[in-house]
Amino acid sequence: MMVTNEGKRRIGDQQLGVLFDGGKVRCRREWRGVKDTLYDYGRWLYILSLLAKFIVKPRNIKAMFRYRWMSNYLAVPHMVDKFTMGLRDEALRIVHTAMDFVVYDVASTMDDIFRGDRRTGNDVEFSNKCVLTDENEMTAVMMGFPTLKGLSRETPSTYVSVLLNQHAAEHYIDVAQEYGLAGDVCPMPEAEAGVSIDDDAPVLGACAVQCNTTCDGSLLGNGVISKRLELEDGIPVFQLAAPLRHREDDVQDYAAQEIKNAIAFIEEHTGEKWDWKAYFECAERVNYATKCRLEWLEMNKTDYPQVFGSNLALYTETNYMAICGKVPAFREVDRKITQLAERAYRKQKKAANEYRHRAIVWGVQSHFYMDFLVWLLNCWGIVPLTDMLSMVSTRELATTDTPENREQAYYDMAWLTENMIMRNRTHGGYKVLLDELWEFCEQFNADMVILWEHMSCKALDGMHGLFEERAREHGIHLVWVTHDLFDPRVISRQGVRQQVNDYMRTVMQEEPVDPSLEILKDEKSW
Q: 139 CB contacts (<8 Å, ≥6 apart)?
A: 133, 150, 321, 322, 323, 324, 326
Could you tell me if 195 and 159 are in contact, meaning their C-beta atoms sit under 8 angstroms apart?
no
Q: Where is average pLDDT lowest: 136-145, 255-264, 311-320, 323-332? A: 311-320
Mean pLDDT computed over every residue of the chain: 92
CA 110 – CA 164 distance, rounded (Å): 15
Residue 141 burial class via C-beta count within 10 angstroms: exposed 0-12, middle 13-18, buried 19 and up: buried
Mean pLDDT of 465-488: 95
SS3 sequence of 181-203: CCCCCCHHHHHHHHHHHCCCCCC
How crowded is residue 238: how many other Cβ atoms within 10 Å of its Cβ?
A: 21
User: Over 80: is that where the pLDDT of 3 sits?
Assistant: no
pLDDT at residue 410 tops 90: yes
Backbone angles phi, psi at 385, to 5 degrees: -60, -45
CA distances from 97 to 39, 44, 80, 312, 331 (A): 12, 12, 11, 11, 12
Whether residue 434 is contained in a domain is answered as yes
- How does DSSP classify residue 326? -
| 244 in any annotated domain | no
d(CA 86, CA 16): 7
Q: Which residue has the higher pLDDT, 424 or 505?
A: 505
The whole-number pLDDT of residue 378 equals 95
Query: Among 70, 65, 73, 96, which residue's Cα sits nearest to residue 83?
Result: 96
Q: Which amino acid type is present at position 246?
A: H
- Residue-wise pLDDT tens digits, 310-338: 888 899 989 988 899 999 999 999 999 99
Q: Residue 386: phi, psi to the nearest 5? A: -160, 170
- Provide the sign of the torsion angle of the four alpha carbons 169, 171, 173, 179, taken in this order: negative
- Per the domain annotation, does 241 fall within a domain? no
Q: Quick check: 332 and 358 in contact, CB under 8 A? A: no
- CA-to-CA distance for 108 and 118, rounded, in angstroms? 18
For residue 219, tell me if it sits in a domain: no
* Virtual torsion, Cα 373, 376, 377, 379, nearest 10 deg: 140
> Is residue 213, in this structure, part of any structural domain at all?
no
The range of the structural domain enclosing residue 426 comes to 16-161+274-517
Would residue 297 count as lying in a domain?
yes
Question: What is the mean pLDDT of the segment spanning 409-431?
Answer: 88
pLDDT confidence tier of residue 12, bands split at 50, 70 and 90: low
Query: 302 or 5: which carries more pLDDT confidence?
Result: 302
Alpha-carbon gap, residue 136 to 354, rounded angstroms: 36
Task: Indicate the number of domains in the chain.
Answer: 1
Angle at 196 between CA 241 and CA 207, to 5 degrees: 50
pLDDT digits (tens, 9 = 90+) for 92-114: 999 999 999 999 999 999 999 99
pLDDT in tens, 72-88: 999 999 999 999 999 99
- For range 262-289, the mean pLDDT: 98
Structure confidence at residue 13 (pLDDT): 57
What DSSP state is assigned to residue 144?
A: T
pLDDT of residue 103: 96
Comparing 25 with 385, the larger pLDDT belongs to 385
pLDDT at 25 (0 to 100): 60
Residue 128 lies in a domain: yes
CA dist 371 and 366 (Å) reads 9
Please check the confidence at residue 2 and state whether its pLDDT lies above 80: no
255 lies in some domain:
no
Nearest to 300 by CA among 396, 373, 368: 373
Give the list of residues 6+ apart from residue 76 with CB closer than 8 angstroms, or none.
Answer: 47, 50, 51, 103, 164
Average pLDDT, stretch 476-485?
A: 96
